Amino acid sequence: MQKTADVAIIGGGISGLSIAFNLAQAGVKNIVVLEKNFLGNGATGRCGAGIRMQWGTELNCLLSKYSCEFFEQAQELFHNNIDIEFEQGGYLIGAGTDEEVEQFKRNVKLQNDLGIESVFLSPEEAGEIMPHLDITKIKAATFCHRDGHLNPFRTTEAYSEAARSLGVSIYEYTEVQDILLDGDKLKGVRTDKGDISAPLVVNAAGGYSKLIADMAGVDLPVYSQRHQIMVTEPVEAMQDPMFMGFSLNIYIQQVPHGSFIMGRSDDSEPTDLRLTSSWQFLEKMSETCTTLMPRLGQLKVVRQWAGLYNMTADAQPIYDEAPELPGFYHAAGFSGHGFMLAPVTGHVMSRKIMGEKADIDVSCLNVSRFKDGGLLPTESSVV
């Protein structure tokens, strides 16, 4: 393994790979990505892989719009032939309460003002898009036809192949065990395969980002919570959009393969990095799903798994250099949306590391906001 690097990125998930790809594209040499397992083994390979532009805050709309537009052109941007299976069947978001109906009206106005082509729909109109939805369970809906979902494994491969072809060194099965300091100055990283000295280190370790920050002795106000997903046997294509509801507490999509993949949140889920699966989830998820989509009740669940949401207090990411340790950067706290934000994460982080201005101002996503009382308005459009 190499002994020195200009930038060492910790975490071979979609965020770390996107940062590496963007840095390499901008001409930075000698980049290493360090992954303790295989690429995408963390939250990247465990997520729902939905991409949507329908958000409730301006910043999230802009961030996700950047990402969505990137994925639309991914094949050309990556210069490889890996099909990331970006299926733009739209996102249909159901409102379960009167408050949500009002919020969704405001959201659509905001989204339209930012050039996102979402529409506000009656339950009947939603039922035309998704005939197996019990429309008596929703009060209204919004829809954006450019939203969609993609294959997280292929997307990981597309990013890693693109990064490799630009000269990035990717070390799998290489675990970072410590952050090396010289006094109070950053010196590099220690791995189980040897030390790498690097003036710039990026913490993109997802669910494990706090462990990495602790190694560096810097504060990162995030915690990880288990979220679970289950998948059914495949059937003929019958649902184009991702359906999602916040108060309804569900996201569900039918992937090109024919399976339905779905998840929900649960405040009682553990926050101790465990990745076990629970029966409670299977039952609650099935109940939520069959209440809204009774016809899916006959489908058999073939598999369930879990991944980690890396949460912040305002459910927005942290894109920042650690104030205590110059050269040490965080791309963390994605709160369940790291996958869809990956293209913009790569862009803004690479610009920040190079000291250049990014296309979107993300200075408010700093790490100090949690201390200064500068929390952002909490995004309500989350599951």
If the CB atoms of residues 153 and 223 are measured against other proteins, the closer one turns out to be 153
Alpha helices in 48-200 (DSSP H): 58-72, 74-78, 98-113, 123-129, 152-165
Q: Which is nearer to other proteins, 275 or 376 (CB)?
A: 275
- The Cα–Cα gap between 44 and 89 comes to 21
**Is 297 a binder of other proteins (CB under 8 A)?**
yes
Task: Give whichever of 238 and 302 is closer to other proteins, judged by the CB atom.
Answer: 302
* Window 41 to 80, contacts with other proteins (CB under 8 A): 41, 45
Query: Which one among 115, 173, 178, 194 touches other proteins, defined by CB under 8 A?
Result: 173
* 3-class DSSP assignment, residue 173: coil
Which CA distances in Å does 118 have to 35, 143, 146, 185? 38, 5, 9, 48
Stretches 26-34, 50-58, 282-290, 373-381: which one binds other proteins (CB under 8 A)?
282-290
Token representation of residue 195: 């030390």
* 55/281 with CB nearer other proteins: 281
Report the nearest approach of other proteins to the CB of residue 248 (Å): 15
The residue whose two tokens read 């106005």 is 109
Q: Which is nearer to other proteins, 277 or 380 (CB)?
A: 277
| Nearer Cβ to other proteins (150/325) | 150
Minimum distance from residue 102 beta carbon to other proteins (Å): 31
Q: Is 249 in the site for other proteins (CB under 8 A)?
A: no
- Return the residues of window 13-32 that contact other proteins according to CB under 8 A: none
Identified binder of other proteins from the candidate list 25, 290, 366, 380, rule CB under 8 A: 290
State the nearest-atom distance from the C-beta of 277 to other proteins, in Å.
5
Q: Is 302 a residue that touches other proteins (CB under 8 A)?
A: yes
Please state the separation of Cα 132 from the chain's center in Å.
28
| 27, 76, 300, 372: which one binds other proteins (CB under 8 A) | 300
Q: Which residue has the tokens 């733009």?
A: 88
242-276 burial string, b = 16+ CB within 10 Å, else e?
A: bbbbbbbbbbbbbbeeebbbbbbbbeebeeeeeee
Does position 172 interact with other proteins (CB under 8 A)? The reply is yes
Q: How far apart are CA 122 and CA 141, in angstroms?
A: 6
**Position 2 contacts other proteins (CB under 8 A):** no
Q: Does 117 bind other proteins (CB under 8 A)?
A: no
Candidate list 272, 276, 372, 373; residue touching other proteins; CB under 8 A: 276
What is 320-371 written as a DSSP string? EE-TTSTTEEEEE--TT-HHHHHHHHHHHHHHHHHT---SS--GGG-SGGGT
Query: Site residues for other proteins, window 204-233 (CB under 8 A)?
Result: 231-233
The stretch among 26-34, 238-246, 270-278, 317-325 that binds other proteins (CB under 8 A) is 270-278
DSSP H or E segment with residue 15: helix 14-25
CA dihedral 84, 43, 220, 27 (to 10 degrees): -30
φ/ψ bin of 220: left (φ > 0), alpha (ψ from -120 to 50), beta (otherwise):
beta
Output the smallest distance, CB 48 to other proteins, in A.
15
CA-closest candidate to residue 54, choices 120, 116, 97, 125:
116
How many residues in the shown chain lie near other proteins by CB under 8 A? 36
Return the closest-CA partner of residue 157 out of 87, 85, 82.
Answer: 82
Q: Which amino acid is at 294?
A: P
In the bound state with other proteins, the residue whose beta carbon lies nearer, of 40 and 333, is 40
Q: Which is nearer to other proteins, 107 or 239 (CB)?
A: 239
For residue 150, state whether it binds other proteins (rule: CB under 8 A): no
Binding site for other proteins (CB under 8 A): 38, 40-41, 45, 153-154, 157, 172-173, 231-233, 257, 276-280, 282-283, 285-287, 289-291, 296-305
